[in-house]
Structure 1
């Protein structure tokens, strides 16, 4: 751990396409960080399968009235300069469960993840989230949608504070005053004993513990979507298993989990579906 204070946002280059949220602005935009990692819980609606969907947007959980997936990408192209880094004629991702994403370095996995995090927009094509077309990234409605998605990066950036303060930070930013139960519950999800870890400082954590604290900070919101980019890179076997257990637990509660990983032995038993991204093309 470097002990460097950070907002937990990727330093990934935004690319040359004009539609993006620069990484340094993502905290203010409300996605992929501890302050705005996620918002509302994902609760399936109590509905009758034969009922017509006549009012209101989709819930984000797969709506059995209109059968709209959580994500729909159609004719989506993302370019860096003159180079096409992602070309998706059609991709649907249903709500719930765990989707794995694999492929070689530079194949387009992280580009896809940033699109799903609503941090970047297509240079061409349409992206729908929870039944709504995602508009300009600066639009108020897009920013609101972005608040329901959280992104965990490979490198666990933590604030120079205690574990409790790290996990509670985003809740406090949202005006939640009583954060104790949510913080303890999130730590338990990642198998860190709150009585042991609550008051530890950021520099007292191992790499695996720091990654699990970073994950807990995002799970405290009960996010609609949890995106993870190489969450087990450089972790020991026990920490990797704890990350998998947490992913299964939150998926069981209704959160849609999407995981990029090179570790097929770890990912394949975890994921319900595997997408293969190679040379900007998505299969599966």
Structure 2
């Protein structure tokens, strides 16, 4: 087992080195791209002072938009005025593969999950151009239409730990290639989940910042419910940890990006 772990670590370091050699001249500065999912609008609004403190911009992926109150919609508009992005995350938070396995028609998925949310958001004055897959479920053929007809970027999910049956597979943050954006016009990306149940550490996140800085790339991160107090809620992240991350990001001279900025800057 020790030999296997050593081999995996060596492979990770090799991949890290390969990516580092791909730095592109005149590309935008290295940085991070934060995104937050679902509909925790009140809690997201409470993040505003912290994000302003570190001049950080983020993307908020909203689901079940037509159930938001007028106050919540106004709060989302305030986030836009602060320089943040409001993205789409599905009208009913439907996982596309579950929908298809249940016998749902693909055209109905686009109609009820994508077009219905876009209609609600546009009526409220928002113009979403990026989409976060629900539950990390996607296929090449659904992505093809989502990019052709609706969005300029699709975001999926990566984790440091994956559990399959009784086995747990782990990989260090610096070795997960798909969570680093290299301004290569790739419209399909992955963000690293930092919620509590992932057991990610501050040291791991710092490793990610170091790789982003050294390779001129952008570390993409995502969370769900901001926790301002201690709690064991799994799909939530500590705001105090977020502040440590933003402070380290600022100390290292890294920039923050919205998800739409990543693809637009890479296409200039």
Q: Give the TM-score taking structure 1 as reference length.
A: 0.31
Q: Which structure has the highest helix share of the two?
A: 2
Q: Give the TM-score taking structure 2 as reference length.
A: 0.32
